[in-house]
């Protein structure tokens, strides 16, 4: 085989420059002000697939942002890999915390990335990572090294809950038929510790509003005599965890899959340095559910977190006011076999029940998604494992991840195939944060590793 390495060496500058161009487009799906840019990005992604040598490239309309499709079918008898990724990105706020503008990508060296890292919103999540696949396929097509069929499905609404994708998948089962779904939208443990994500958490996301009086009140005239919705909301939120940081919603843990001691011991073998973890985050202690260690708390245990809270006066100086309303956005990360709609219902009932007299509570569900687990005895996992061995010289560590890609369970159900999460990002890449970046080394290593997945998956599929 092939040496993707020498292709990468030869085309290094172009591979990096093309990604920088893609990162200039502010494809923020959450904010309608960027809708033209999101659409333009879909077009650019389609162009990149054409350029890579894909056929039947289409920008498929949906009721939301389009899904970009492209394929290279060599022979229907051969296995087919379906690559999924997303070209939309998180909002870049707060802008003032970026060291360089989020949509003017620059390469800077960091301690972790002495070879340089690309700083831009979406550099790692997920433009840099899905683009590795475009470039890996470009290499395989141009150098006649593509051993099987490939299809791309790159969406523009992942960061807002993949609203249109479910419908698209259900309506296009034939077109999307595949033997394995390959995704790079997760991370690995470290540059010298490759890992394969074997599962992701689900999500239930709600917005709550507590309403007191019918208008904002003078806090002297009325203070002490009527409910302050912010005080009440803070109390209600505080009561959602007990002293051991267990979640207090009745029924919340009923379906949670408890891991055996053996499985937990296996998890504990993955390299993890608690001191380095604390240092990287500037914290003097970790915090979480009693009875579990950090790597369990952020992967195999469900959580409840306030993502934002607002109300009342937050401007300059002081204003004496008892606000009429208080709001919070609350997310719950779920593990197998919790059902996000059931959890949403339990949350809603509980939150309404604990509201004291004097306020009204409303709970508005946002999006959700089921957890996902990949079997490690599948040939897709073995192909990924061998691919990492080929380019890292090490067997990757299987590891459950804490983030969510809510559409995965639907892929498996509708398309009847397994999903392999081959991520090349690092936790320190600051995805969703200011100064998001992706190591140039990681980007190129991804492009180099992916072709081996195709080779081994094709061989293993043929029973070799
Ligand atoms: N790529 C991330 C998920 C991720 C990142 C998983 C790193 C594991 C490691 C994805 O784009 C994401 O941000 N998902 C959201 C959910 C979505 C509905 C907004 C999340 O996990 O918060
Ligand atoms: Mn992502
Ligand atoms: Mn994301």
With a 6 A CB cut-off, is 128 part of the ligand 1 pocket?
no
Q: Give 383 Cα–ligand 3 centroid separation in angstroms.
A: 26
Helices (H), 173-318: 229-238, 261-268, 274-281, 294-297
- Give CA–CA dist 147/151, Å, rounded: 13
With a 6 A CB cut-off, is 187 part of the ligand 1 pocket?
yes
- Which residue has a Cα nearest atom 18 of ligand 1? 161
Q: Are 217 and 322 in contact (CB under 8 A)?
A: yes
Q: Tokens representing 122?
A: 């979406």
**Residue at token pair 């999101």:** 38
β pairing state of 360-369 and 217-218 = unpaired
Instruction: Count CB-CB contacts under 10 A for residue 49.
Output: 23
Residue 387 makes CB contacts below 8 A (sequence gap 6+) with 422, 449, 450, 452, 453, 455, 456
Atom of ligand 1 nearest to the CA of 160: 19
Beta bridge partners of 437: 119
Q: What is the biggest distance separating any 2 CA atoms in the chain, rounded to whole angstroms?
A: 81
Backbone φ and ψ of 231, nearest 5°: -55, -45
Residue 140 makes CB contacts below 8 A (sequence gap 6+) with 2, 146, 147, 451, 454
Backbone φ and ψ of 130, nearest 5°: -75, -30
Q: Are 337 and 255 in contact (CB under 8 A)?
A: yes
Q: Give 421 Cα–ligand 1 centroid separation in angstroms.
A: 12
Atom of ligand 1 nearest to the CA of 401: 8
Q: What is the residue-wise DSSP string for 192-230?
A: TB-EEEEEE-EEEEEEEEEE-SSS-EETTTSTTTS--HH
**Residue at token pair 């081959």:** 422
Backbone φ and ψ of 25, nearest 5°: -85, 120
In angstroms, the Cα distances linking 54 to 49, 420, 452 are: 5, 22, 19
- Determine the length of the chain: 464
pLDDT at 19: 98
pLDDT at 2: 58
- Judged by its nearest atom, the ligand closest to the C-alpha of residue 436 is 3
With a 6 A CB cut-off, is 403 part of the ligand 1 pocket?
yes
pLDDT at 1: 57
Q: Give 221 Cα–ligand 2 centroid separation in angstroms.
A: 49
Q: Give 275 Cα–ligand 3 centroid separation in angstroms.
A: 26
Q: Tokens representing 134?
A: 């475009």
Instruction: Tell me which of 31, 128, 399, 403 to substitute to probe ligand 1's pocket, judged by most ligand atoms within 8 Å of the beta carbon.
Output: 403
**Surface-to-core class of residue 424, CB atoms within 10 Å of its CB (0-12 exposed, 13-18 middle, 19+ buried):** buried
Atom of ligand 1 nearest to the CA of 185: 1
**Surface-to-core class of residue 55, CB atoms within 10 Å of its CB (0-12 exposed, 13-18 middle, 19+ buried):** exposed
Backbone φ and ψ of 181, nearest 5°: -105, 125
Q: Tokens representing 263?
A: 């499985």
With a 6 A CB cut-off, is 200 part of the ligand 1 pocket?
yes
Atom of ligand 1 nearest to the CA of 402: 8
3-class secondary structure, 151: strand
Instruction: Tell me which of 299, 305, 368, 405 to substitute to probe ligand 1's pocket, judged by most ligand atoms within 8 Å of the beta carbon.
Output: 405
- Which residue has a Cα nearest atom 20 of ligand 1? 404
- Judged by its nearest atom, the ligand closest to the C-alpha of residue 126 is 2
Q: Are 44 and 23 in contact (CB under 8 A)?
A: no
- Give CA–CA dist 136/445, Å, rounded: 10
Instruction: Count CB-CB contacts under 10 A for residue 12.
Output: 13
In angstroms, the Cα distances linking 191 to 177, 178, 341, 392, 439 are: 33, 30, 37, 9, 10
Q: Give 441 Cα–ligand 3 centroid separation in angstroms.
A: 21
DSSP 8-state code for residue 41? H
With a 6 A CB cut-off, is 85 part of the ligand 1 pocket?
no
**Which H/E stretch holds residue 153?**
strand 149-155
Q: Give 115 Cα–ligand 2 centroid separation in angstroms.
A: 24
With a 6 A CB cut-off, is 157 part of the ligand 1 pocket?
no
- Judged by its nearest atom, the ligand closest to the C-alpha of residue 162 is 1
With a 6 A CB cut-off, is 155 part of the ligand 1 pocket?
no
Instruction: Tell me which of 183, 335, 404, 407 to substitute to probe ligand 1's pocket, judged by most ligand atoms within 8 Å of the beta carbon.
Output: 404
With a 6 A CB cut-off, is 185 part of the ligand 1 pocket?
yes
Q: Among 168, 21, 160, which residue's Cα sits nearest to residue 104?
A: 21
Q: Tokens representing 60?
A: 């498929």
The pLDDT tens digits along the chain (464 residues) read: 558 999 999 999 999 999 999 999 999 999 999 999 999 999 999 999 999 999 999 999 999 999 999 999 999 999 999 999 999 999 999 999 999 999 999 999 999 999 999 999 999 999 999 999 999 999 999 999 999 999 999 999 999 989 899 999 999 999 999 999 999 999 999 999 999 999 999 999 999 999 999 999 999 999 999 999 999 999 999 999 999 999 999 999 999 999 999 889 988 998 999 999 999 999 999 999 999 999 999 999 999 999 999 999 999 999 999 999 999 999 999 999 999 999 999 999 999 999 999 999 999 999 899 999 988 899 999 999 999 999 999 999 999 999 999 999 999 999 999 999 999 999 999 999 999 999 999 999 999 999 999 999 999 999 98
Q: Give 86 Cα–ligand 2 centroid separation in angstroms.
A: 7
**Which H/E stretch holds residue 333?**
strand 325-334
Cis check for the bond before 317: say yes or no (omega within 30 of 0): no
With a 6 A CB cut-off, is 404 part of the ligand 1 pocket?
yes
With a 6 A CB cut-off, is 71 part of the ligand 1 pocket?
no
- Which residue has a Cα nearest atom 19 of ligand 1? 159
């Amino acid at each position: 085989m092939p040496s993707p390495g020498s292709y990468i060496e030869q085309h290094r500058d172009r591979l990096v420059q093309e990604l920088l161009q893609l990162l200039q487009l502010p494809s923020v799906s959450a904010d309608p002000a960027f809708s033209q840019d999101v659409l333009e990005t879909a077009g650019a992604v389609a162009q990149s697939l054409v350029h890579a040598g894909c056929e039947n490239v289409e920008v498929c309309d949906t009721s939301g942002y389009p899904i970009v499709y492209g394929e290279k079918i060599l022979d229907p008898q051969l296995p087919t890999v379906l690559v999924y990724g997303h070209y939309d990105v998180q909002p870049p706020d707060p802008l003032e915390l970026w060291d360089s503008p989020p949509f003017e990508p620059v390469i800077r060296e960091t301690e972790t990335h002495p070879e340089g890292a690309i700083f831009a919103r979406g550099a790692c999540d997920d433009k840099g990572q899905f683009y590795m696949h475009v470039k890996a396929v470009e290499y395989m097509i141009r150098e006649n090294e593509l051993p099987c069929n490939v299809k791309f499905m790159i969406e523009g609404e992942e960061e807002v809950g993949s609203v249109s994708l479910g419908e698209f998948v259900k309506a296009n089962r034939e077109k999307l038929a595949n033997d394995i779904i390959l995704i790079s939208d997760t991370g690995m443990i470290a540059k010298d510790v490759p890992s394969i994500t074997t599962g992701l958490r689900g999500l239930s996301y709600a917005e709550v509003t507590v309403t007191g009086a019918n208008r904002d009140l003078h806090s002297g005239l009325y203070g002490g005599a009527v409910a302050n919705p912010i005080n009440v909301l803070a109390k209600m939120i505080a009561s959602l965890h007990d002293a051991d940081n267990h979640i207090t919603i009745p029924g919340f843990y009923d379906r949670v899959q408890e891991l055996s001691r053996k499985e937990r011991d296996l998890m504990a073998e993955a390299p993890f340095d608690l001191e380095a973890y604390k240092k990287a985050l500037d914290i003097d202690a970790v915090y979480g559910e009693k009875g579990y260690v950090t790597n369990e708390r952020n992967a195999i245990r469900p959580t409840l977190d306030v993502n934002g809270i607002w109300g009342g006066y937050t401007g300059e100086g002081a204003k004496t006011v008892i606000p009429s309303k208080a709001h919070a956005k609350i997310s719950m990360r779920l593990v197998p076999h919790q059902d996000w709609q059931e959890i949403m219902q339990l949350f809603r009932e509980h939150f309404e029940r604990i509201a004291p007299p004097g306020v009204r509570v409303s709970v508005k569900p946002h999006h959700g998604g089921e957890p996902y687990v990949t079997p490690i005895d599948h040939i897709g996992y073995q192909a990924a494992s061998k691919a990492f061995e080929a380019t890292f010289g090490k067997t990757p560590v299987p590891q459950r991840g804490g983030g969510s890609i809510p559409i995965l369970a639907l892929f498996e159900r509708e398309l009847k195939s397994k999903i392999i999460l081959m991520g090349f990002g690092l936790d320190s890449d600051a995805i969703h944060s200011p100064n998001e970046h992706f190591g140039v080394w990681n980007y190129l290593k991804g492009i180099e590793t992916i072709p081996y997945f195709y080779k081994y998956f094709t061989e293993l599929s043929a029973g070799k």
